[in-house]
Amino acid sequence: MKLWLVRHAPVLLPAGICYGASDVLADDAASLQSARQAAEQLPPGLPVRVSGLLRAQQLANHLAALRPDLPTAIVDVRLNEMNFGCWEMQPWDAIPQTEFDAWLADFDHHCFGGTESTHLVLQRVGKALSGVQNDELWITHAGVIRAVQWIVEHGFEPVQKAENWPKTVVEPGGLYSVEIRG
C-alpha cells in the first residue's frame, strides 16, 4: 500500500517559535499552492485523513475544492503534531539548554515540555497506521511524517538516540509517499 503524506504549509508565526500542537494558521496562499501541487499528483478517489489542527485542515479544504473525486477528509487527531507542553509558543532559543539535554539523554521517553514523548508519538501514529487498509492520504505535520518513516524502517523499536530519529522531512506544503507493508 502507498501512504501519501502532505505536510501543512508554512505557518503564520515568526521563525524560531516552538508551536507543535498549538492550533496556529498556515499561510492560506501557500496552502492553496500546496493543494494544487498535490492535486496534480494524487490518484483518483484516494481516502483522506487530516490532522485536527487548523493548519492541516486549511490545506485539506483547498484540496477538496480542487479534487471533488476525493472522499471528504476524516479528521484524525492521531495525526496531530507532537505536543511540546509548556514550551509551546515559546522561542526555541529561549528554552533552557538543560531541557534539551534531558530530552536528548532519553529521547524515546522524556516528555519535552512535560506532555508528550517521542515514544508516545510513535504509539499514536502507529495506531493510525494500523488502520490503513488501502492507499491513503494523510495531511499532517513533520513530526508525524518522521514517525511514519521510523515505523516503516524500524517498527516500534525504541529511538535510543536523537541522532537516529529521521532528519529529512518534506518541506512545509510538500508531498511525500511511502510504501506500507500490509
The CATH number for 164's domain is 3.40.50.1240
- What's the chain's average pLDDT? 97
pLDDT of 135-163, one tens digit each? 999 999 999 999 999 999 999 999 999 99
Whole domain around residue 111: which residue ranges?
Answer: 2-179
What total number of domains does the chain contain? 1
Residue that is written with C-alpha cell 481516502 in the block: 47
Give the rounded distance of the alpha carbon of 181 from its chain centre: 20
What 3-state DSSP class applies to 26?
strand
Classify the phi-psi angles of 170: left when phi > 0, otherwise alpha if psi is within -120 to 50, otherwise beta: beta
State the pTM of this model.
0.96
Q: How many CB atoms lie within 10 A of CB 16?
A: 10
DSSP 13: S
Cα gap 67→46, rounded to integer Å = 10
pLDDT band at 181 (very low <50, low <70, confident <90, very high): confident
